[in-house]
Structures are given as structure tokens and as C-alpha cells.
Amino acid sequence: MGIENIGDNIRRRMKMDGLTIAKLSAQMGIGTATLSNILNGKSEPKSSTLIKFAEAFNININALLEDSPQLNTLRFRTAKSLSGREKAEREQIRFDTAIWLKNYRYLEDSLDIVTKNKLESILEKDPNNAAKIARKNLFNLKDEKQPVYDIANLIEDAGIKLKIHNFGFKRTNGLSVGSQDEGPAIVVNSESKIPIERQIFTIAHELGHLILHSDSYKDPKEIEDENEENEANQFAGSFLLPEEGLKEEWEESKGLHWVDAVLRIKKIYKVSYQTVLKRLCQINERNKDSVYRNFAIAYKILYNHDLKNFYEPDALAKSDLMEDRFACLVKKAYEQEFISLSRAGEMLDLSLLDMRDRAKAWQENPIDA
């Protein structure tokens, strides 16, 4: 670790919290010149000063000491330009992702686990055809109509690393990392206002990028490419809601009010009502905007609730999307004494107290006891 990394880590946290040098120095009770020297890598802070920094940012002290690992194949784009604070949060997500992948590699190496990148076997670049091939060959969904009941499990079983993480802002739903940087990997934004259905779609969307746009992972652009986004959306829709299954379920629902028919299909396939509507519009060549508008009006009449502010009818619960492979690796590494209790807590982003509770729950599991 170089002292310049401490300065970079502190500076990034300051931007996220909207703190100036004057504000932070006053809050910590140290001089502005001392703080500037630390930020610029001219002096190394004492342990007591590091503790003050950790308390000021409400983080573990180790987060200030981490080196700044690089990701050369990170696809992390937004539809619009970000504010200064959002850019700092974005850099923190980039940093956290790199650390997570570094830890993932360490765990797999310690436990002698080898994962194979199966994505390279899919060469098809048409979104609909690629989705069909991925369902059948990559995820072993032999029935073309079969819903994707547990996308997190499918993704992890296919050797794709998955992390569900609160980004702190909503302008980016997710990111993905190429195989050259310990990937392939997908990180999904679980910010509280983003429905689980949207998070599931984001996983499929980023999977589409990994398959369709592998060349784009060395491109440092931060603004989305509209054509690539449309292709990834098309892939995700076809992957989660295959045409054959949608047509069959839509026909079987004809006796219901058309709004309830949409909600029925939504529940079966664990997608948003908008995904169902969009796929129906694509198949039946209808205008998407007018159908969305009519659905919103009809839903309000039927259920006395509007669809504003990200409201999702019959919304999925958090338990419908849970990744667990990384936590399982941490558990195995801890039990085999490759990592300490505190290191396990760092990897799982748990305090030492919470990590003790987690370890106790592992040991006292009445099902496996």
C-alpha cells in the first residue's frame, strides 16, 4: 500500500459526502495543511488520525488502506452525465467491484475452485437468437417456454460472478466486467426504489452485453450507446420472456380482463408489467406508448392505484433475488481457516459484531446440525 492510496480513498469519500477540506478538518479537529498533505500523498497519517477518518466517514479503517486496483474491462455507463457527487459514488462502486473480484479470486484459489467462462461459446450476435442459444446451451433450459425461476442461481452456476449492491443513486441499474478482469461478472444496483423485477431484468441486460458486445469492454466511454442498449434490452426480454411461452400464456388468459392477464404473465415469468407489455407489443406490432398509457388507466380503474414513482403491481420480494455463491465461499474459507473472522466480515461487508452473529448462525444451523 502506498500513502497516495490513502489520499485517493479519503478524497473519494469526501466527494461522496460533500465535504470540503475545511469542513472535514474542522470535523476531525486537524489542520487544513495536515489534511492537504495526507490527501496529496505528502505525509502518512498516524493511526489515531486514521481512526478519526474512519469515524468521520462511518466506515471500516481498512477501507482507507486498500490499494486502488484497476479494471480494464469494466462496462459501467449511464444515460446522462453525472454530478460530481455521483461521479465519486461511481468511482467508489468501481473500487468496490475491483476489491470484490480480487477477494473472489483469492477465495477460489484458496479452495482450489476453477470456474470456466462459458460465454465465449456463444457467437451469435442477433439478440433474439442469442437469447435462445443462451437459454438452451448455457443455462440448460431445454423447454423454450420455461420461465427463469432463479436467475441468480443460473448465472452463478454458469460461472458468472454476481453481486447485488446498493449504488446509492438510480441513474445506473448495473455494470458488468469482462473475463480479463476476473470476470465475467455482473453487479446490480439494489437501490431501494428499484423494483426486484427491474434488478432481474438488469442481470439479463448485462448478460446480453457480455454476449453481444464483448468488444465494447475495452472502450472507456461512460455514456450509453443507444443501439447497444436496445440490443441488450431485446436480449433480456427474449431471455426472460420467450415468445413461445408468452403467446401460449396470453392465449390461455383471454378470459381475464386484459390487465389481469398481463399481471398473471408477470407473476409466472418474474418480470415487470412493462416487460410483458413491451414483449406483447413487439409480437403483435402495437404502439408501445399507447398500450402503456391504456394499461395505466385501466389499472387505476381496477385497483384504485396509479403506476407512478416506480410502482410495480404485485411486486416481487427481496427473497426472489438473492446471490449466495460468494457468501458460501467465504463460509468455506473461514471454516477451513484460510481467512480470519474479521477478514470474512470485511469480505461480506459486515461489522465484526455482525460477523460474529453470522458465524454463530452458521454453527447453530438446526437443519444441518
Q: The domain that contains 52 carries what CATH number? A: 1.10.260.40
Residues 241 and 129 in one domain: yes
- Confidence tier at 12 by pLDDT (50, 70, 90): confident
pLDDT in tens, 197-247: 999 999 999 999 999 998 888 876 777 788 999 999 999 999 999 999 999
- For 110-115, the CB contacts below 8 A with 24+ separation are 110/333, 110/336, 110/338, 110/339, 111/329, 111/332, 111/333, 111/336, 111/338, 113/329, 115/159
Residues 76 and 138 in one domain: yes
Residues 37 and 148 in one domain: no
Residues 276 and 358 in one domain: no
E strands of 10-79, at which residues?
74-75
Residues 162 and 242 in one domain: yes
CB 127 within 8 A of CB 207: no
pLDDT the model gives residue 7: 83
Q: What pTM does this model have?
A: 0.85
Residues 285 and 359 in one domain: no
Percentages (nearest 5) of helix, strand, coil residues in the chain: 60, 5, 35
| Mean pLDDT, residues 268-292 | 94
Of the given ranges (68-77, 141-150, 285-294, 301-310), which has the lowest mean pLDDT? Answer: 68-77
Residues 149 and 284 in one domain: yes
Q: What domain range is 367 assigned to?
A: 344-369
Alpha carbon of residue 66 to chain centroid: 22
pLDDT in tens, 288-332: 899 999 999 999 999 999 999 889 999 999 999 999 999 999 999
Residues 271 and 355 in one domain: no
Residues 80 and 62 in one domain: no
Residues 139 and 168 in one domain: yes
